[in-house]
Amino acid sequence: MPGFTTTDDGGWVFSLENKPEIPDLPVHDPLDFQGPERPGYLEGPGKWENYSDDILYELETLLRRWLATKVDDPEWTSKGGKGIRARKHTCSMVYQHLYGKPWDVKDKACQVRVRRLPRLLAYYSTKVQKEGIVNGKKVTKHIYHLSLKRFKNVPPYSLKLRLEWLQEQGRLPVWQNMKLPKDDLQAGQARNPRTNENMRRRREKARERYNQRYSDRKH
């Protein structure tokens, strides 16, 4: 089980083997404006559920390791269409990259992972399409435009993994840097407002073309 142990110099060490006890750290982080009355960094609705989700932790650990291999990949880092095409993935494509095999709908462990994967992919994406073209083929599944910039800049979605990320940076966990991630990118949306508006216009035009094409059949 994961947890912490304190060190002689007043620091802390995170380990998957230690008993999951949250230390009372006497050192105040510069972001800690409330001093001794500060809320615990795992206090609040949904935080413990996120922290204790081992499947989420496993998925994001593998996802971030895979994304790290793409940081210097010329296809992923290319500007324009080549880079965009390389970063477009469906859930099934990413699953195969992470586990080295296609997902099996009959495998219960696979089903549990697949239920969590869309949240993670949306978190690391700049845009989520409801359907589109991937590798030259039309797909009717959600398409995630994965972002290396978000991989580098946003903290891990899993609070358990975020503790390790903070430790690597020599930062103490406090409630300000342990907030729940925003789960706000839905299918058919983009983070860039201009891109989002362009997507909305394309949907409207596609709907108009569809209505015009089949208007005669309604009478």
Give the model confidence (pLDDT) of 122-134 as tens digits. Answer: 999 999 999 999 9
Confidence of residue 105 (pLDDT cuts 50, 70, 90): confident
The mean pLDDT value for 62-80 works out to 95
The mean pLDDT value for 31-51 works out to 75
Q: What is the predicted pLDDT for the residue at 216?
A: 62
pTM: 0.75
The mean pLDDT value for 199-203 works out to 68
The mean pLDDT value for 192-216 works out to 68
Map the chain to HEC letters. Answer: CCEEEECCCCCEEEECCCCCCCCCCCCCCCCCCCHHHCCCCCCCCCHHHHHCCHHHHHHHHHHHHHHHCCCCCHHHHCCCHHHHHHHEECHHHHHHHHHCCCCCCCCHHHHHHHHHHHHHHHHCEEEEECCEEECCEEECCCEEEECHHHHHHCCCCCHHHHHHHHHHCCCCCCCCCCCCCCCCCCCCEECCHHHHHHHHHHHHHHHHHHHHHHHHHHC
